[in-house]
Amino acid sequence: MATWFDESRLDDESALRSVDLRLRTLAESGARVRREAGDASTVIEHALASSARADDGVSARPRAVIAAGPDSRLLRAVLEPWCPVPFVAWPGPALPGWAGSLDLVVVLAPSGSDSGTASAVAEAVRRGCQVVVAAPVGSSVSEHAAGRWSTIIPTATRDQLATAVVVLDYLHHLGLGPHSAPEQVAEALDDVAVSCSPHRDLAVNPAKMLAIALADASPLVWGGSVLAARAARRVAESVRRTSGRTALAGDAEHLLPVIEATRPRDVFDDPFAGGGGERRPALVVLDDGAQDPVVREQRGRLQAAAAEHGVRVETVTTQAPSEVARYASLLLTGTYAAEYLRLGLVED
């Protein structure tokens, strides 16, 4: 059955009510970050004070930091360029064979129920590793994390981003990562919730405008920095989930062949032939303001190739003050756009 995009649904109150729960969940992203930060503040302050007393006021760095569990890739994207000691992301259900008492194991477990993550945490405790775990109180992961060298940060929202922000803030105070103040992230998310609100007209709503631009296209999502590239993968995943359509995310060398293989647009093509016509690629650039020469060069190549082959370019920007806040802003804007794309698609 063919589908088409009805952009009038994006401003239609009855249609918007049908997705109110999903959009409300997105709008509450900033509140979840604040809640997790508030709930964890006492535990983090106590852990930092205990660490300072144990080291006579001098923070002892671990030999290496291991981010374990399926959510380890987000920590890698943030910490790898900054961490002053070797950093390893280990998404499997075990730990590297060399991990021991000199190493710090960090685990994000928003749900706390993953058996593989619980197994990795239990192994870290058994080996005498320093352990930092963010998980719901009473969950399987938090119970396996109990130990002399463990810091358990309680979570409640099951939100991966909010959980990561709290852990990153703690690691920043340990001197192991960049500044990622939870309030800055929450404010960036609130700003996106306002600008992308369902009650804001599509003419001034960046998420609705992006959804309209992708209505007849196959998105190619690109982010130049490590965190923007992570956001691009998550946004492409959201588009695939909400629309059932192809959406790719990758580095410039992965997306360029797709753009260069796009045939020139024929003005005589029937847009309704074959059930709605061919969906051409559309390049979506997630711009977090990174000014690295390599990033600028790759962005220029992509945009030049898109112009040459008649591929539309859509750019999502952010003015958030920190790297993590910019990542959160780009991710939430793209997720809003994916939801509006779902809303506008109707079956013929």
Query: What does the chain come to in residues?
Result: 348
* Pair (334, 214) in one structural domain: yes
> Is residue 214 a part of any domain in this protein?
yes
Classify residue 48: in a domain, yes or no. no
pLDDT score recorded for residue 266: 64
* Domain range enclosing 85: 62-175
Asked if 289 and 335 sit in the same domain, the reply is yes
pLDDT exceeding 70 applies to what percent of the chain?
A: 94
Same domain, 143 and 190: no
Which residue, 135, 154, 175, sits at the end of a domain? 175
Q: Are strands 312-317 and 280-287 parallel, antiparallel or unpaired?
A: parallel
Q: Is 39 contained in some domain?
A: no
Residue 217 β-bridge partners = 280
Percent of the chain with pLDDT over 90: 78
- Answer yes or no: do 214 and 194 share one domain: yes
Q: Which of 175, 209, 243 is the last residue of a domain?
A: 175
Is 231 found in the same domain as 130?
no
Backbone phi, psi, residue 254, to 5° = -85, -35
Q: What confidence score (pLDDT) does residue 58 get?
A: 41
- Is residue 267 located within the same domain as residue 133? no
22 and 66 inside one domain: no
- Say if 14 falls within a structural domain: yes
How far lies 196's CA from each of 80, 107, 188, 202, 208, in Å?
A: 31, 32, 12, 9, 7
> How many structural domains comprise the chain?
2
Which of 123, 147, 175 terminates a domain? The answer is: 175
Euclidean distance between CA atoms 5 and 217, whole angstroms: 11
- Per-residue pLDDT band for 3 (boundaries 50, 70, 90) equals confident
Mean pLDDT score, 277-296: 91
* Residue 102: both structure tokens together: 């000199």
pLDDT category at 272 given cuts 50, 70, 90 is low
Using only C-alpha atoms, the chain has a radius of gyration, in whole angstroms, of 22
* pTM, to two decimals: 0.92
Is residue 95 situated within a structural domain? yes
Q: Are residues 228 and 160 in the same domain?
A: no
Q: State how far Cα 187 lies from the chain centre.
A: 16
Any domain includes 33: no
CATH code of the domain containing 300 = 3.40.50.10490
With respect to residue 21, please indicate whether it lies within any of the assigned structural domains: yes
Identity (one letter) of the amino acid at 88?
V
Find the distance separating the first CA and the last CA of the chain, reported in whole Å: 7
Amino acid at 82: W
CA dist list (Å): 79 to 66, 165, 230, 241, 293: 11, 12, 13, 28, 21
Residues 192 and 328 in one domain: yes
> Rounded to whole angstroms, what are the CA distances from 305 to 219, 256, 310?
15, 7, 8
Token pair for 195 = 């600008």
- Kindly report, residue by residue over 54-91, the tens digit of the pLDDT: 554 444 789 999 999 877 888 999 998 889 999 999 88
* 3-class DSSP assignment, residue 174: coil
Mean pLDDT over the full length of the chain:
91
Same domain (yes/no): 211, 339: yes
The reply to whether 37 falls in a domain is no
Q: In the beta sheet, which residues pair with residue 108?
A: 134
Residues 221, 154: one domain?
Answer: no
Are residue 196 and residue 154 in the same domain, yes or no? no
